[in-house]
Amino acid sequence: MKIVGRDTTFSRNLSFPFFSLINRGYLCVFTMAMADEKSLNFLEEIIETDLREGKYTNIATRFPPEPNGYLHLGHAKSICLNFGLTQKYGGYTNLRFDDTNPVTEETEYVESIKDDVRWLGFQWANELYASDYFPQLYEFAVILIKKGLAYVDDSTSEEIAAQKGTPTRPGTNNIYRDRSIEENLTLFTDMKAGKYKDGEKVVRAKIDMTHTNMLMRDPVIYRIKHAHHHRTGDAWCIYPMYDFAHGQSDSIEKITHSICTLEFVPHRELYDWCIENLEIYPSHQYEFARLNMTYTMMSKRKLLQLVNEKHVSGWDDPRMPTLSGVRRRGYTPESIREFCDKIGVAKRENLIDIGLLEFCVREHLNKISLRRMVVLDPIKVVITNYPEGKEEILTSENNPEDETAGSRTIPFSRELYIEADDFMEVAPKKYFRLAPGQMVRLKSAYIIKCEEAIKNAEGKVSELRCTYVPESKSGSDTSGIHVKGVIHWVSVAHALPIEVRMYDRLFVTEDMNRIEDDFKNHLNPESLKVLTNVYAEPSLKEAKDGDRFQFMRTGYFYKDKDSTTNQLVFNRTVTLKDMWAKEVKKG
C-alpha cells in the first residue's frame, strides 16, 4: 500500500485483504504488495542519517506514561515504536513514569503499566520516575531564575490566562515579571518551604508575551500542590509542570530521540528553549500521528468516566481498548505488535479501520488456537438407530494449522446437541445443513439424516429424530455417500455446561472523534450478550490459563478470570469473519 500525503510519502507492504484506511489529509492509493521489502518510516530515516553521520553511536528512547490510568491501544503503538527502534538500531529504551501530578497518580497504575509493557513483549533498560529528578529539576529552575529567565508570579490562573492574550492578540506583561533575581530566589525558596497555599504563587519562564506560539508566552514551570506523592510522600509541596519536566528528564537520561504524538508539536519550541538555556544535553523531540481507530475511544478521561459510571465492569472489561481489557478478551501480544507494524508511522492524523486489528488477531489465533466443539444455542438430536446405552470415543485434530498440536478424544452417544440454526424446517436451495430428509456430516463422527422434527406446545422445534449411517465414520468411511455440510455437536451425556460472553464493539459510531454530543450516546447496546445455556465437549474442562480456543464455526474464545472450578466462563475474542463489514453492506 502506498500513501501519499501533502508533506510525506511512505509505503507499507500489506499481506491482508483490502481494508479501508481513512487518512485525513492523504491521497490513498491501495496496492497489494508482493515484495517483502518495506520502506523506512520517517523516524527510521532520521535515525539512519544520525547514525551514518556519526551524530550518535547508538540511540536512546523512552516510554513516558503518566501513572493516572491504564494503558490503551494507542499506547501500544508508542511502546512498539520506541522499543522497536532501539531493538532495530541498537541502544536502549527507558520506562519513565511522568509522576509530576501527585493528585492523580496511584501505585496501582504503575504496576499495571509495567505488566502491560512486559505482556507486549518488551523489557525496559531502566525503570525511572520524573520524581527521581525533583531535586535536579528544582535546581534547573533556580538556574533560570539566576539568569533572569524565570520569575515568581502571584497572579491567579484566571489572570494569567487573560494576560496571555489570544492567537490574534499579543499577551501583556504584569508587574511580577520585573521582580529582581534576589526576590525571585527568596520567594521560590519560600514556596519550596511550604509558606504559601496552593495556587498562591507559580514560577513562570520569562520568554516573550508577544510570541506567536502562545505556549511560549511565559509558561508556568512550577506550581504549589500540598498533596501526598505516591513515591516522595510529603517531601515536596511544589511540583514541576510536564513541559518543564519532560525535556529536562530526557536530557538527564541522555535520550537521543524523544518521540511524542502530534499534539506536542507546539510544545517542541519550549522543549528546545529550556535545554538551550540550561546548557544541558540536547535531546531532540520528534512527533508522529497517534492511533485513531474506528468504533473506538482512546481518551483516558472518557474511559475513566465509563468505569466510574459503571457502563463497563472496570478498566479490564473486555470491551475496553485498554491493554488489560484486550488481554482479558483474548488478544495476543503478537497480533497487536503485527497490527502496529502494519499501520506504520505517519506525520498526519489518520483513522485506522478496526477491522485491520481484528484481522491481525484472527490470523494469529487461527495458527495457535485449539479447536473445540461448543454449542451456543442447543437443540437436541436423538439418533434413533444408534443403540441405547452405547458410547464411542472418537478422535479429532486439535488444530489443522499445526500438526504438532496433536489430537483429542471426544465421546459420542445416541443423544447430541447441535446448534439450533443448523436446522431448517423448510430449507432453501443450497442449504447443506440439517432439514427433513436431508443429510449432514457430524464433525469427526458420522453422517446423519433428519427423519422428523418434534415440536413443543408453542410449536417450536425442540428435538430432531435422526438416523445415522454406520459405515460413514470419519477416517474409515465406506458408505460412498457424499454430503457437503459438516456441523459440530456435543454428546448430551458428556456435555460440559459453560457460560459464554459474546463481546462486540463498544461503540456504534465509526469516527468517535467527530461526534458533537455526549459520547455515551454512541455506546453499543449489543456490545455484550451473556449466554448461559451453552454446552461444550468435555475436554474444555482442562482449559488452562492462556489457552486460546476456536469454538468451531463460531469464533475465537478465551477463558475469563471469573471462571471457577464449577463454572467456566469464556469470552469471545473475535468472530471467525468480519461480521460488521457484512452489516455495513446491508446498510
**Which residues are known catalytic residues?**
66, 290, 300
d(C-alpha 68, C-alpha 586), whole Å: 42
Q: Is the dihedral of CA 162, 301, 579, 32 positive or negative?
A: positive
Q: Could you write out the DSSP letters of every residue in 465-478?
A: EEEE-GGG-TTS--
- Residue 311's Cβ-count burial label (10 Å; 0-12, 13-18, 19+) is middle
Residue for grid cell 417450536:
460
Instruction: Answer whether 438's CB lies under 8 Å from 467's CB.
Output: no
Q: Give the count of beta carbons closer than 10 Å to the beta carbon of residue 166.
A: 9
Q: Could you write out the DSSP letters of every residue in 435-467?
A: -TT-EEEETTS-EEEEEEEEE-TTS-EEEEEEE
In order of 318, 514, 547, the CA distances from 553 in angstroms are 22, 36, 18
Q: What 3 state SS string does 382-439 have?
A: EECCCCCCCEEEEEEECCCCCHHHCEEEEEEECEEEEEHHHECCCCCCCCCCECCCCE
Q: H-helix or E-strand containing 303?
A: helix 300-308
* 521 contact partners, CB below 8 Å, separation of at least 6: none
Three cell numbers, residue 3: 500513501
Q: How many residues does the chain have?
A: 587
Instruction: Answer whether 443's CB lies under 8 Å from 472's CB.
Output: no
Going through 147-241 in order, the beta strands assigned E by DSSP cover 150-153, 202-205, 220-224, 238-240
Instruction: Answer whether 319's CB lies under 8 Å from 527's CB.
Output: yes
Instruction: Answer whether 338's CB lies under 8 Å from 362's CB.
Output: no
At residue 50, the 3 state secondary structure works out as helix
d(C-alpha 222, C-alpha 184), whole Å: 13
Instruction: Answer whether 357's CB lies under 8 Å from 339's CB.
Output: yes
Q: Is the dihedral of CA 382, 386, 388, 391 positive or negative?
A: negative
Three cell numbers, residue 530: 451473556
Instruction: Answer whether 570's CB lies under 8 Å from 404's CB.
Output: no
Residue for grid cell 474511559:
303
Three cell numbers, residue 279: 546548557
Q: Residue 538 gets which letter from DSSP?
A: G
Q: Give the closest residue to 144 by CA, choosing from 100, 199, 188.
A: 188
